[in-house]
């Protein structure tokens, strides 16, 4: 009899150890992590040292803010919003102040945010007056029954909320006006294709979309993306950044993703959702899923993604010569990178 009791006790211990509920609890206490991107495209090896420093400094400032907030136990949704706001204020990147200009030399801003705990999301496109489009996107999520607002209507909504506004002189920097004038000379037919650099790399033609994905201390995922779009865009063109499932996605069951690159291709291939679907239905890892989509589904030299899964695994996958990116987590990781190896 004692042997039977001992055997039952052993079996009970084994079942307790392998209990799926315990496994889920372990996943939820996997720590926290944050990943940031400042855009894919261009060849960092051809950039000036001063410009590379500006991009690294900008990424580091945003990363440090996000890491501090996570250490303090702040919700992931708050973290991604505040991190992206920092990048929107930094004219080194293509979001908010210093964004690229459209065909007419004007600015049009897009942004999206998503909560992985309940798939709540909000987005704006072709915004011209709201200083921080990412905060406007969040208010679309929290203060309306809608997901995406565009143009003057989105700005009107921001004004009704008394969100900070800014004029064209804030968004249109001298460097971007100069870059737009160079673009006009390089692309006389005003096509939508980004020019390939010949000889020296023209840094201002490769300013990148910004994004942030986070796993917070409570196990919740969040994603946010903000951009000025494509240099010389026409007819109210909108890319993937504000399209949920294309350039932005978050779901606690799988991962949070933010993309950067040629928006049309990200939309055609539903990139962010495809990565999550491969995990959910194909039982693939985040690394396997992101690599398959970026390296085999997207065209060559198209862009990249940052992503983090519900276990804290981090991925920064791209098929361009470089992608400005940074990552940190509760295990001590801290990286700020521009090219493939640095």
Residue 111, strand partner residues: 124, 226
Residues with catalytic annotation? 209
Residue 140 near residue 149 (C-beta atoms within 8 A): yes
Q: Which residues of the chain have pLDDT under 50?
A: 1, 8, 11-29, 190-201, 204
- C-alpha 30/C-alpha 37 separation (Å) is 23
pLDDT of residue 30: 64
- C-alpha 179/C-alpha 177 separation (Å) is 5
Give the three-class secondary structure for 3.
helix
Residue 258, strand partner residues: 248, 306
pLDDT of residue 184: 85
Residue 116 near residue 222 (C-beta atoms within 8 A): yes
Pick one of 3.60.20.30, 3.40.630.30, 3.40.50.740, 2.102.10.10 as the CATH number of 31-339: 3.60.20.30
Q: Which of 239, 294, 261, 251 is nearest to 123 (CA)?
A: 239
Q: What residue segments make up the domains of the chain, in order of their start? A: 1-29, 31-339
Q: Which of 241, 234, 320, 244 is nearest to 276 (CA)?
A: 244
End-to-end Cα separation, the chain, in angstroms? 65
pLDDT tens for each residue of 250-302: 999 999 999 999 999 999 999 999 999 999 999 999 999 999 999 999 999 99
Tokens of 239: 């890319």
Give the three-class secondary structure for 246.
coil
pLDDT of residue 206: 53
Residue 38 near residue 89 (C-beta atoms within 8 A): no
- C-alpha 239/C-alpha 110 separation (Å) is 8
Tokens of 222: 């969040």
**241, burial (CB in 10 Å: exposed 0-12, middle 13-18, buried 19+):** buried
Tokens of 168: 């064209």
pLDDT tens for each residue of 166-204: 999 999 999 999 989 988 887 655 444 444 433 344 554
pLDDT of residue 14: 41
């Amino acid at each position: 009899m004692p042997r039977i009791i001992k055997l039952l006790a052993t079996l009970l211990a084994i079942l307790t150890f392998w209990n799926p509920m315990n496994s889920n609890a372990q996943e939820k206490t996997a720590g926290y992590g944050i990943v940031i991107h400042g855009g894919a495209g261009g060849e960092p090896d051809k950039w000036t040292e001063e410009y590379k420093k500006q991009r690294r400094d900008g990424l580091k400032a945003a990363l440090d803010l996000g890491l501090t907030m996570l250490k303090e136990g702040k919700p992931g949704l708050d973290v991604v919003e505040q991190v992206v706001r920092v990048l929107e204020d930094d004219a080194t990147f293509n979001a908010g102040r210093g964004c690229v200009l459209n065909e007419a030399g004007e600015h049009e801003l897009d942004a999206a945010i998503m909560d992985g705990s309940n798939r709540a999301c909000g987005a704006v496109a072709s915004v011209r007056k709201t200083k921080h489009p990412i905060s406007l996107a969040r208010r679309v999520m929290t203060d309306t029954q809608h997901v995406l607002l565009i143009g003057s209507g989105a700005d009107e909504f921001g004004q009704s909320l008394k969100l900070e506004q800014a004029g064209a002189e804030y968004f249109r920097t001298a460097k971007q006006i100069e870059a737009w004038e160079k673009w006009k000379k390089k692309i006389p037919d005003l096509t939508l294709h980004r020019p390939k650099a010949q000889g020296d790399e023209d840094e201002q033609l490769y300013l990148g979309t910004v994004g942030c994905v986070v796993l917070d201390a409570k196990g919740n995922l969040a994603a946010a993306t903000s951009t000025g779009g494509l240099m010389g865009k026409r007819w109210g063109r909108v890319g993937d950044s504000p399209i949920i499932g294309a350039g932005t996605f978050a779901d606690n069951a799988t991962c949070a993703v933010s993309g950067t690159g040629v928006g049309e291709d990200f939309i055609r291939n539903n990139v962010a959702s495809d990565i999550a679907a491969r995990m959910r239905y194909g039982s693939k890892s985040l690394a396997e899923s992101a690599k398959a989509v970026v390296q085999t589904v997207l065209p060559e030299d198209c862009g990249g993604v940052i992503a983090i899964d519900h276990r804290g695994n981090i991925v920064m996958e791209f098929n361009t010569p470089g992608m400005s990116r940074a990552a940190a987590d509760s295990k001590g990781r801290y990286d700020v990178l521009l090219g493939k190896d640095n």
